[in-house]
Amino acid sequence: MQKGIAKIINQRYPISESRREIFLSSFFIAVMGYLFLIVFQPFGAHTFTNNYKYLLLAPYPIIAFVVYSGANLFFLKKSYNWNLNKELVKLLFVLLICSGFNYVYNIYFINHVSFSISHLLFMCLYTFAIAVPISMVYVLARYLYLTQSWNTFEEVVEKVEQTGELLNIIPDSGQEGLTLTEDDFLYAESDGNYVTVHCLEEGVVTNRLLRLSLKNLETQIQNNTVIRCHRSFIVNTGKVIKVKGNAQGYKLFIDGITDFVPVSRNYIPKVKVLVKVL
């Protein structure tokens, strides 16, 4: 049973690169939360007498919208390596942040009371009680929508002959550089000021971490088959063996690599020219 649970929470959870989808899904959370508040008026809200009651309740869903959309935008660069476990942990922190903002709004604009740890804990409880069921629907709906969007087709790719050109990679700092043939370069992914180069060394897949921006790496090694395919990735299209996706984005699979390389929608036309399906 434990293995089954571990398998479920470690499975991939897709994250959209579409800001429109992020804002719409966050808006859904906000609207559902607001409707719950005004219809059921839980946790003493029904005793709150004010001519502007429903207007005063509006900042709670606004807080939810801002925090949910902000969190999803912040983690966009991690979308290629995301899973259900990370999504649930992110959701936990989102609810904690919402609870904090809800509490600040409550004590200054609703109840006009001084800070209290016990009241803060109660606000966390109230926020979680309302938000968890809605968030579970949100997580499931986004998973089904984004999974369907990602997996429209799957094609095997025609193998492309490569030139054996030497690629010289020079880091931004005094770190030792890296020289390898085009055929040994698989892909590179960025993380802030660093780049991880995935390559073959004597036929074995190796990862080399270099202090280097992806833009500088692109300038140094881009050629007819090694291209930028995402804001965080450069790929050797000659090493791609399979492609999945649709007009919203591709996933490129490389022989010997378990993870996929994402292709942003803006880069699809360029990738399609180089990656030919059988």
The answer to whether the predicted template modeling score (pTM) of the entire model surpasses 0.75 is no
For 18, the domain range is 2-150
Count of the separate structural domains present in the chain: 2
One domain, residues 74 and 199: no
CA pair distance 74, 84, nearest whole angstrom: 17
Residue with token string 């931004």: 172
Are residues 145 and 174 both part of a single domain?
no
Cα angle 195-197-201, degrees, rounded to a multiple of 5: 155
Question: Region 171-191: what's the mean pLDDT?
Answer: 90
> Residue 66 is inside which H or E element, if any?
helix 59-74
The CA distance from 252 to 240, in Å, is 6
48 shares its domain with 76: yes
Q: pLDDT digits over 62-104, tens only?
A: 999 999 999 988 887 565 567 788 888 999 999 999 999 999 9
Last residue of a domain, one of 118, 150, 182: 150
Do 83 and 12 contact (CB within 8 A), yes or no? yes
Same domain, 116 and 62: yes
What angle is formed at CA 206 by the lines to CA 215 and CA 242, rounded to 5 degrees? 75
Residue 74: the pLDDT is 86
56 and 184 both lie in a single domain: no
Of residues 32, 27, 15, 21, the one with CA closest to residue 131: 32
- At 214-229, the pLDDT tens digits run 999 999 998 989 999 9
Q: Check whether residue 177 and residue 129 sit in a common domain.
A: no
pLDDT band at 273 (very low <50, low <70, confident <90, very high): confident
164 and 65 both lie in a single domain = no
Show which of 102, 127, 150 is a domain's final residue: 150
Please calculate the CA angle 33-34-37 and round it to the nearest 5 degrees.
90
The reply to whether 69 and 143 lie within a common domain is yes
Long-range contacts of range 1-8, CB-CB < 8 Å, 24 or more positions apart?
8/84
Distance CA 159, CA 157 (A): 6
* Residue that is last in its domain, among 120, 150, 180: 150
Gap between the Cα atoms of 106 and 92, Å rounded: 21
Question: Are 139 and 162 contained in the same domain?
Answer: no
